Amino acid sequence: MSQPVATTTPTSKPKPCCVCKVEKATRDECLLKNGEESGKCDGMITSYKKCMAGYGFKI
């Protein structure tokens, strides 16, 4: 007998707005205070991108 094939459904992946909320809030606050060009928020931006990538989102 063959093994059942796992199927992914759209509901199995969370919505982008519902994940990495802490990282997003920290990043947004830094960007508002310092601006992206300052370079002060690069670590927070990277952290947010890694978090989102962990859920399968590419930014």
Is residue 17 scored above 90 in pLDDT?
Answer: yes
Q: Is residue 44 part of a domain?
A: yes
Q: Is residue 1 part of a domain?
A: no
Q: Is residue 13 part of a domain?
A: no
Q: Is residue 45 part of a domain?
A: yes
Distances in whole angstroms, Cα of residue 57 to Cα of each of 7, 53, 54: 19, 5, 7
3-class secondary-structure state, position 43: helix
Is residue 59 scored above 90 in pLDDT?
Answer: no
Q: What is the pTM of this model?
A: 0.75
Q: Which structural domain range is residue 23 located in?
A: 18-54
Q: Is residue 8 part of a domain?
A: no
Is residue 31 scored above 60 in pLDDT?
Answer: yes
What total of structural domains would you count in the chain? 1
Q: Are 24 and 49 a contacting pair, CB within 8 Å?
A: no
Numbered residues of the known binding site: 17-18
Label residue 13 by pLDDT band (50, 70, 90).
confident
Q: Is residue 12 part of a domain?
A: no
Numbered residues of the known binding site for Cu cation: 17-18
